[in-house]
Amino acid sequence: MRTPPRSADLLSAFPELAAHARTATRLHPRPAPVRALDSHVGGPLRWPSDEPWPMCAHQVMVYEEVPLPLDLVTRMRQAEARRVQHHILAEGEVELHEEIAAFVGPGFSGWGTTNNGPVVGRRTVDAPHPTPTPLIAVAQLRAADIPDLPRPDGADLLQILWCPFDHADTNWGPALALRWRREADVTEPFLAPPTGDVGEDEYVPEPCRLYPEQVVDYPFCQELPADLQDRLKADERYLYSAIAPGWKVGGYASWHVTDLQATPCPQCAAPTNLLFVIDSKEYDSATREYWQPLDDPDPDDAQEPTGVIVGRYSALRIFACLTCPGTPIVTDLQ
Ligand SMILES: [Zn+2]
Ligand SMILES: [Zn+2]
């Protein structure tokens, strides 16, 4: 697929930009059947048959019910019966509510009955998934298809998985896991993933084939030298055309929500580089002019092809340190 050519005017007006150009690969995912051997979004992975499928080890918000002592329920009912008006609490009710909250403990959210069952207190707690929860495939990327895939030495295959729930310990988002492999090390038959629960449907990608396209990204304005920033601020074209939106590999990240933030490696503290972007949309009304492909075979599915929505129609950006062992990542959502 082909992105419209960038305006030559912009580059001739700001020739200094050339020194800051960086290649990004737009993936242009489109719904289609996919195979474990291919690069794709969602779908089956090239997974070793002797390697266990990863299960989520993060904390989620779990709803719990706590049976209330009969004595407490009885006193609460007696107090409610003393109300003169339905909606005005009787004397002592506030104290009883506080007693129930104290009994139920941290995360208290109320009490009540379900289907005329016993009166229970309700609370939410951060706890491991109540049942083992397998991760699901987000994307598989072959260096053979994406030559600029930033990758640690020796690896030529990246698999991105996540747990399709909101988690207490990952800023209320899905919990990511990356696997770097060498294709030659993983031969058929591949392991079929187990099925499990899904917390958020919008974290389950529609299987999509990819139409990788290399484009040139320019930095978010605040990453540029001050004098260039000042001159570019007045140019709306730069705002919308500098950084490719949508699912992509490499390039630059936009920081339009928070302003520029550092993304140091959690192990060595050196700056990380943008590895991958999971975006809720491929372009919007402001960026369509610059980023809608010219030759889209399926323009109706083009704007939100994967069905994945992160945050509030945001983009989840994965930054990686390729020199530290284990290739640590940092994520940011905006
Ligand atoms: Zn999870
Ligand atoms: Zn590092």
Selected residue with higher pLDDT from 9 and 238: 238
Coil, strand or helix at 102? helix
- The pLDDT of 271-289, averaged and rounded, is 96
Determine the Cα angle at 35 with ends 29 and 40, to 5°. 25
Amino acid present at 91: E
Residue 96's alpha-carbon distances to 90, 99, 230, in angstroms, are 11, 5, 62
pLDDT reported for residue 174: 95
Sign of CA dihedral 59, 61, 62, 68: positive
Q: Tens digit of pLDDT for each residue in 86-140?
A: 899 999 999 999 999 999 999 999 999 888 888 999 999 999 999 999 999 999 9
The model's confidence at residue 192, banded by pLDDT at 50, 70 and 90, is very high
The model's confidence at residue 164, banded by pLDDT at 50, 70 and 90, is very high
CA distance linking residue 15 with residue 9, whole number of Å: 10
pLDDT reported for residue 116: 85
The model's confidence at residue 299, banded by pLDDT at 50, 70 and 90, is confident
pLDDT reported for residue 10: 85
Query: Which ranges in 4-162 belong to alpha helices (H)?
Result: 8-13, 70-81, 93-104
Beta bridge partner(s), residue 209: 30, 40
Q: Which ligand is nearest to the CA of 133?
A: 1
pLDDT reported for residue 179: 98
Q: How far is the CA of 198 from the centre of ligand 1 (A)?
A: 9
Q: Tens digit of pLDDT for each residue in 79-96?
A: 999 999 989 999 999 999
Q: pTM for the full model?
A: 0.88
Q: Which ligand is nearest to the CA of 268?
A: 2
pLDDT at 301 over 80: no
Q: How far is the CA of 195 from the centre of ligand 1 (A)?
A: 14
Tokens representing 227?
A: 């004098």
pLDDT at 279 over 90: yes
The model's confidence at residue 218, banded by pLDDT at 50, 70 and 90, is very high
Q: How far is the CA of 328 from the centre of ligand 2 (A)?
A: 7
Q: How far is the CA of 55 from the centre of ligand 1 (A)?
A: 8
Residues with CB under 5 A from ligand 2 (ion): 265, 267-268, 321, 324
Domains belonging to the chain, first-starting first, are 8-58+130-333 (2.30.320.10), 67-128 (no CATH)
Coil, strand or helix at 33? coil
Coil, strand or helix at 276? strand
**Could you give phi then psi for residue 93, rounded to 5 degrees?**
-65, -40
pLDDT reported for residue 296: 85
pLDDT reported for residue 262: 97
- The pLDDT of 295-310, averaged and rounded, is 87
Residues with CB under 5 A from ligand 1 (ion): 56, 58, 163, 165, 175
CB 210 within 8 A of CB 29: yes
CA distance linking residue 139 with residue 152, whole number of Å: 18
C-alpha closest to that of 14 among 184, 222, 220, 235: 235
Selected residue with higher pLDDT from 142 and 6: 142
Token pair 């079929």 in the structure block, residue: 192
CA distance linking residue 237 with residue 215, whole number of Å: 16
Tokens representing 147?
A: 């030559």
CB 133 within 8 A of CB 197: yes
CA distance linking residue 291 with residue 239, whole number of Å: 13
